[in-house]
Amino acid sequence: MKEIHVVTRLAVDIGQIVLESGGETYRVEESIRVVCEAYGFPETQSYVVPTGIMATILDHSGRPTSIVRRIRSRSTHFERLAAMNSLLLQIQEKSLRMNEVRSELKKILQKPPRNAFIMATSAGAMTGFFALFFGGTLADFVPAFIVGCTGKLLVSYFSKLNVNDFFSNIVAGAYVMLQSHLLALLLPKLLHGDKIATGSIMLLVPGLAITNAVRDSIAGDLLAGVARGIEATLVAVGIAFGSGIALQILALLGARA
């Protein structure tokens, strides 16, 4: 009986990491199933929503063991998802014992995040090219790049402080809009504040949340799909609210480019 409790906890721990890293509902449920089957408990039921995991495993005599796990934070961590996928493949092939899986999980979780400079530079390149995509000129690339870099650093700082996502999106949206138009005022005849702002705001758009909401809904996980859709909507509302505040400030100052 002790073994089933160990397997249940391990399976839910793995599911939690996948969910907190941005994995879809079906991926989390599949991860739990794979772990339980690999260690001799094929009769497994799990129910996953963005804010929680519920799993029940039947032992060989049909007695259930259940666990409920509350999920309080979610982010986008593709590198961790890739590492978890590789680990699950090894578990499915039954090439790892449970203590080895625990050791691998510890390594995955302790892996340091990517260099902040690289992340900020990548974000700047993305916003710069989005500014071009939305009709900006080559001259607009540079200020959009600057806004993207500093905006990414601001978002990362709020994340480290565990600031409420809705509040951080309001502040980040206001910052991006203000910075874009103020930079455009340096060369008003050459730069386009609206194009720079549009490209830069793409840094904050919840693309993965929207995609996961659609995928969960299509897969039949309607509750999870609706929850993710509401989450994405709240992010968008926060961005819009912050951007609106910034535009009002710029209008009052007569500084909009």
**Tokens 């799993």, located at residue:** 55
Residue-wise pLDDT tens digits, 105-143: 999 999 887 788 899 999 999 999 999 999 999 999 999
The per-type count for the chain, helices as H runs and strands as E runs, is: 10, 3
In this structure, the chain runs to a length of: 257
DSSP one-letter code for 114? P
- pLDDT value for 256: 59
Residue 53 pairs with which residues in a beta bridge? 48, 69
pLDDT of residue 152: 93
- Decide if pLDDT at 1 tops 50: no
pLDDT, tens only, 7-32? 999 999 999 999 999 888 889 999 99
pLDDT of residue 257 exceeding 60, the answer is no
Q: Taking the domains of the chain in order of start, what are their residue ranges?
A: 2-110, 116-253
pLDDT in tens, 197-245: 999 999 998 887 888 888 888 888 888 889 889 988 999 999 999 999 9
Q: Where are the alpha helices (DSSP H) in 111-221?
A: 116-133, 138-160, 165-184, 193-201, 207-218
**End-to-end distance of the chain based on CA atoms, in angstroms?**
69
CA angle 118, 122, 127 (to 5 degrees): 150
Note the pLDDT tens digit of each residue in 141-171.
999 999 999 999 999 888 888 888 889 999 9
Which residues, other chains included, contact 230 with Cβ-Cβ below 8 Å and sequence gap of 6+?
Answer: none
pLDDT of residue 96: 85
Say what percent of the chain tops pLDDT 90. 59
Close Cβ partners of 209 (under 8 Å, ≥ 6 residues apart)? 228, 231, 232, 235
- Whole-structure pTM value: 0.81
Please tell me the predicted confidence (pLDDT) of residue 139: 94
Q: What pLDDT sits at residue 2? A: 52
State residue 255's pLDDT score. Answer: 66
Residue 54 clears pLDDT 90, i.e. is over it: yes
User: 3-state SS of the chain: helix, strand, coil percent to 5?
Assistant: 70, 10, 25
